[in-house]
A and B are shown apart, each in its own frame.
Chain A
């Protein structure tokens, strides 16, 4: 065993600090399973990152809607506070844009 050799290991959040959910786009065409989401992340930031990772257009803002209530999650509030301890929430990635 060599002395003095150091390995760099990135700190990982514990399971209690993360959550998982299922997400689809509004038409139900694109479905994904999302895991390892830090509970402290604002829901709006999660929505925007998720839209990007689902290859949805980035020229519009995105929000998450809870399928159990139909309501939008608050963008600025940590996602963990809004989903609580739900086993596996179902969310819809929804564009915040309008027809003209």
Chain B
């Protein structure tokens, strides 16, 4: 069983519990208080791990060893309503860093609460709901007992931790050779594509647009995680794109089948068989939103006056966010590249990465090529 990062005791939360309070009307009463579980916080811990350990020259430090402290940020004049959550992480060198997460980082907890309300008949699928992050004042013992009763362990699971495979690669020479696309500055971990991988990713993502009835298609992105020996910076290089074979694409969805995953994993294993590429891994995915923006909405009223069209189908959908959390659990370096179209019919694309517990648009570098050194 995977251990959780050590929470310093006493935490600023003390014996209280963080929860998401759900309303069915913006100003209505709270209808359900859903506890935030330790599992809900793992991706947030992973972001802190990335900033506190991986990007500080300690790529060998496992997430499980990260010491964290949770500090709720209370709304002024309230004793339970939170503006967000600060997670303080202590790196291997003893330095403490604080990372703030807004309520949006808890959207999956709110979604879980909404599913309970749908099952109870208090909410219908498609209804709007509203949520706040709060400190739950119910007795902790009550919550602890409820959770224990709900999750007996039916078998034994023993973690087999392996060090994070990465390459030692000087970063400055790569940046000098690369072309920057979009915002590549802080707070983002550098991401590089080789030009060949980026072109392949776009071709695979847009292949579905050529179908008589356009569908979503895509690929996984493969390459090494790297640590710079001089700056300590951690970064990602995507240097291969593996097309999704036998995936089930529709106009608005893309499902990996068993055969798709089998092909992807066999291809990755073949890449890992090479002496210089044995640390290569799946670092992200790309797919095409091959549908008009806003599901077929016409052009903007001011279209003729705009030099470029900003109405596009490029956005991380709820399904994209949920898929990324599931596939790349506790992998804060994961990337999601979406290729779409504009209202004028032109091409648009953007890269998204994990930031504040959500997928946010970010920049990247394009390299002419990448030659991996021997793995560390």
Contact = CB atoms under 8 A, between A and B. Distances in A.
B156 A36 contact: yes
Given A32-B157, A32-B158, A100 B320 contact: yes
Contacts of A99: 216, 218, 253-255, 285, 287, 317, 319-320, 323
Contact of A57 (B156, B258, B329): B329
Q: How large is the interface on A (under 10, 10 to 19, 20 to 34, 35 or more residues)?
A: 35 or more
Contacts of A55: 1-2, 4, 38-39, 42, 329-330
B252 A34 contact: no
Given A100-B252, A100-B318, A34 B157 contact: yes
A62 B90 CA distance: 33
Contacts of A26: 261, 265, 282, 327
A81 interface: no
Given A31-B160, A31-B162, A53 B261 contact: no
A27 B327 contact: yes
Nearest to B264: A26
A44 interface: no
B323 A53 contact: no
Contacts of A80: none
B317 A100 contact: yes
A70 B262 CA distance: 5
Nearest to B248: A98
Interface string A38-72: 10010001100110111111111000010101111
Contact of B258 (A34, A36, A37, A70): A70
Nearest to A35: B156
A65 B39 contact: no
Contacts of B281: 27-29
Contacts of A71: 258, 262
A97 B42 CA distance: 20
Given A26-B261, A56-B329, A98-B319, A41 B154 contact: yes
Interface string B322-335: 11011111110000
A100 B157 contact: no
A33 B39 contact: no
Instruction: State the 5 A-B residue pairs at the shortest beta-carbon distance, nearest first.
Output: A70-B262, A100-B319, A100-B317, A95-B326, A98-B255
Interface of A: 18, 22, 25-38, 41, 45-46, 49-50, 52-60, 65, 67, 69-72, 92, 94-95, 97-100
7 contacts: A31-B161, A32-B1, A49-B155, A54-B2, A70-B262, A92-B261, A95-B326
